[in-house]
Chain A
Amino acid sequence: GQQLNQSPQSMFIQEGEDVSMNCTSSSIFNTWLWYKQDPGEGPVLLIALYKAGELTSNGRLTAQFGITRKDSFLNISASIPSDVGIYFCAGPHPNRDDKIIFGKGTRLHILP
């Protein structure tokens, strides 16, 4: 079935560092969504992207819709402890825009 591949699976960084993660697909996507999930909670929508090449920011978070339409990137600048969690990319199924497909997530750890 259709899959979204997220990289890296997990990352350990120092507080204050910048973070980069990405999401790739074998199919073209028309929308990319980035969610964050804290332990024991539901995912929270961070950023939605609708156009190839689009760059959108939400505070210290910046996401880009890849030109090929097969990838997306999320950057977090100057990480803080509350950034800890799992970041999921998601997008509508290429053939069924009423279904959302999620990647397996990138787990972010911040070292004290």
Chain B
Amino acid sequence: DTGVSQNPRHKITKRGQNVTFRCDPISEHNRLYWYRQTLGQGPEFLTYFQNEAQLEKSRLLSDRFSAERPKGSFSTLEIQRTEQGDSAMYLCASSSSPRDPSYEQYFGPGTRLTVT
């Protein structure tokens, strides 16, 4: 399978706990994106990486959120001191550089987080 993979697919945690999600992009893609999606909404941009460099962070990404892509391959998204409002689907996507003819983003299956 050469698509984007995410782990875990589901996570239930208690308020105040820390959680970490992992994303493995398509191997030849140098850009990796994190999105959050709540019920009835489209995906909302959180942050993205080009190779190992984090190029932008959305205002949605509070200081409890941190993302890394240490070797320019897989990425992790950590949420510290989770709150019930963090409950959502967290989606990862990857793409090639926008200087290429196409830069469509390919999504993983997502990690559904439930904070109780």
Interface of A with B (CB < 8 Å)? Answer: 4, 31, 33, 35, 40-45, 48, 50, 88, 90, 92, 97-105
Contact = CB atoms under 8 A, between A and B. Distances in A.
Main secondary structure of the interface of A (DSSP, over half): strand
A8 to B, nearest CB: 14
Contacts of B110: 40-42
Interface residues of B, number: 27
B70 interface: no
Interface stretch (B12-20, B75-83, B99-107): B99-107
20 contacts: A4-B42, A33-B105, A40-B109, A41-B110, A42-B92, A44-B107, A45-B106, A48-B104, A90-B42, A92-B98, A92-B103, A98-B31, A99-B48, A101-B45, A102-B42, A102-B44, A103-B42, A104-B40, A104-B42, A105-B40
Given A42-B108, A88-B42, A98 B102 contact: no
Contact of B48 (A90, A98, A104, A105): A98
B42 A105 contact: yes
Given A42-B107, A43-B107, A97-B98, A104 B41 contact: yes
Given A99-B45, A104-B40, A41 B109 contact: yes
